[in-house]
Amino acid sequence: MGYMKSDARIYVAGHRGLVGSAIVRELTRLGYTNLVTRTHAELDLLESEAVSAFFAAEKPDFVVLAAAKVGGILANNTYPADFIRDNLDIQNNIIEASYTNGVDRLLFLGSSCIYPKMAPQPMPESCLLTGPLEPTNRPYALAKIAGIEMCWSYNRQYGTKYLAAMPTNLYGPGDNFDLNNSHVLPALIRKTAVAKATGAKELVVWGTGTPKRELLYSDDLAQAVVFLMNLDEGTYGTLLSETEPPLINIGTGEDVTIRELAETVGRVIGFEGELVFDTTKPDGTPRKLMDVTKLNGLGWKYSVGLEDGIRRTWDLVKDSLV
Ligand SMILES: NC(=O)C1=CN([C@@H]2O[C@H](COP(=O)(O)OP(=O)(O)OC[C@H]3O[C@@H](n4cnc5c(N)ncnc54)[C@H](OP(=O)(O)O)[C@@H]3O)[C@@H](O)[C@H]2O)C=CC1
Ligand SMILES: C[C@H]1O[C@H](OP(=O)(O)OP(=O)(O)OC[C@H]2O[C@@H](n3cnc4c(=O)[nH]c(N)nc43)[C@H](O)[C@@H]2O)[C@@H](O)[C@@H](O)C1=O
């Protein structure tokens, strides 16, 4: 426990999602007793009046903004309007309501796709807005960049203390395992499970298999989020500068090719067939490795390695996938 006391009122927006559920688990594990949550059915975060009324009634001290319209490369490419509109609306509503209701610390979750497609690798926080974005997720990335700018602008104009954390690609139990709309790792787990169960000789992997991705287990991400929200005032204050966005990367600092990822999933699940690459599907960004110097410098490092994390996820989901 740190800056947030055990009875602090903490609103986790998106608590049923991959990230939000991991954050609730972590806060509960640490002994937090005053969590505030609402399902999508109970509170539609696109509705600004409903969000204002909810904040006015519940008065959270802290907010983790883990609700968003989220999906993999194909979902982003197929529903660009939904991705930019819903994300802008959700984050605008929550950030404004947090300000008007005196929330102390808010942590906004963005994504590594905010950085330019051809950013230097690994990508430091300072490469934000230094080059063109990857087209397959530009609407989503621009919404997330607007969220960072909102946090920074509110901090500067209103003296709020909002932080924007940019996780790398995430995975874990509670992920979306849909074959079309999900991210690569849950999709590969599901496809591999089906291939094994049906005795298939081949497994179709999208794209060329050469792009590289960095993957972080959701429980590690949750630990990093709570670690940041619990920083002492002085250290937290160093992240909120007048001259730079209040931005921090969360990742492992290590990446693998999509081919290596598919091979690792095959090893964990026990699939021995061939990988076939469907190059009619987009590759997306060639590489987006996070520079995690800033986060490591504060004293946080990931603990669950990739193969271990895939094994943990597989153990938890295998009975529900095929
Ligand atoms: N997954 C990843 O690889 C990465 C995720 N992130 C970021 O982490 C955050 C969480 O992502 P993740 O957990 O993966 O996503 P999920 O889709 O698993 O969870 C998002 C949650 O937000 C809720 N939500 C969406 N729209 C609304 C709405 N209008 N009203 C109320 N609730 C809503 C969803 O509820 P429902 O399902 O009922 O709609 C869901 O519970 C996002 O900001 C994302 O950008 C960043 C980097 C990588
Ligand atoms: C988190 C992040 O996630 C998204 O960006 P992405 O990393 O490009 O997305 P992805 O996980 O879907 O794919 C990664 C790579 O994997 C390849 N790939 C192979 N086979 C499958 C497959 O079966 N499914 C998927 N989805 N991808 C596959 C795929 O072709 C690509 O080369 C954005 O939402 C972005 O906005 C964002 O923030």
Per-residue pLDDT of 72-100, as tens digits, reads: 999 999 999 999 999 999 999 999 999 99
Q: Whose alpha carbon is nearest atom 19 of ligand 2?
A: 206
Q: How far, in Å, from the CA of 198 to the mean position of ligand 1?
A: 32
Question: Mean pLDDT for the chain?
Answer: 97
Residue with tokens 């594990």: 29
Does residue 122 have a cis peptide bond before it, meaning omega lies within 30 degrees of 0? yes
159's tokens = 């003296």
Q: Which H helix or E strand runs over 150? A: helix 138-158
Report the residue count for the chain. Answer: 322
Q: How far, in Å, from the CA of 95 to the mean position of ligand 2?
A: 28
Strand segments (E) across the chain = 10-13, 35-36, 62-65, 105-109, 161-167, 169-171, 202-206, 212-213, 215-217, 247-250, 256-257, 274-278
Check whether domain 10-175+215-253+288-304 has CATH 3.20.20.70, yes or no: no
Helices (H), 159-216: 184-198
Q: How far, in Å, from the CA of 181 to the mean position of ligand 2?
A: 9
Q: How far apart are CA 53 and CA 218, in angstroms?
A: 31
Cβ of 218 closer than 6 Å to ligand 1, yes or no, is no
Q: How far apart are CA 45 and CA 32, in angstroms?
A: 24
Residue 111 annotated as binding site: yes
Cβ of 20 closer than 6 Å to ligand 1, yes or no, is yes
Q: How far apart are CA 170 and CA 219, in angstroms?
A: 10
Cβ of 111 closer than 6 Å to ligand 1, yes or no, is yes
Per-residue pLDDT of 170-205, as tens digits, reads 999 999 999 999 999 999 999 999 999 999 999 999
Residue 40 annotated as binding site: no
Q: How far apart are CA 179 and CA 257, in angstroms?
A: 20
- What's the whole-model pTM score? 0.98
| pLDDT for position 322 | 77
Does residue 1 have a pLDDT over 80? Answer: no
278: exposed, middle or buried (Cβ count in 10 Å: 0-12, 13-18, 19+): exposed
Handedness of CA 261, 310, 315, 110 (dihedral sign): negative
Per-domain residue ranges of the chain: 10-175+215-253+288-304
Per-residue pLDDT of 252-287, as tens digits, reads 999 999 999 999 999 999 999 999 999 999 999 999
Report, in angstroms and rounded to the nearest whole number, the Rg of the chain calculated over CA atoms.
19
Q: How far apart are CA 100 and CA 121, in angstroms?
A: 39
| Active centre residues (catalytic) | 140
ipTM value: 0.98
Atom of ligand 2 at shortest range from CA of 75: 34
Cβ of 181 closer than 6 Å to ligand 2, yes or no, is no
Cβ of 304 closer than 6 Å to ligand 1, yes or no, is no
Per-residue pLDDT of 200-235, as tens digits, reads 999 999 999 999 999 999 999 999 999 999 999 999
| pLDDT for position 46 | 98
- The DSSP code for 135 is G
Best mutation site among 114, 144, 184, 259 for ligand 2, i.e. most ligand atoms within 8 A of its Cβ?
184
227's tokens = 């670690």
- The DSSP code for 113 is G
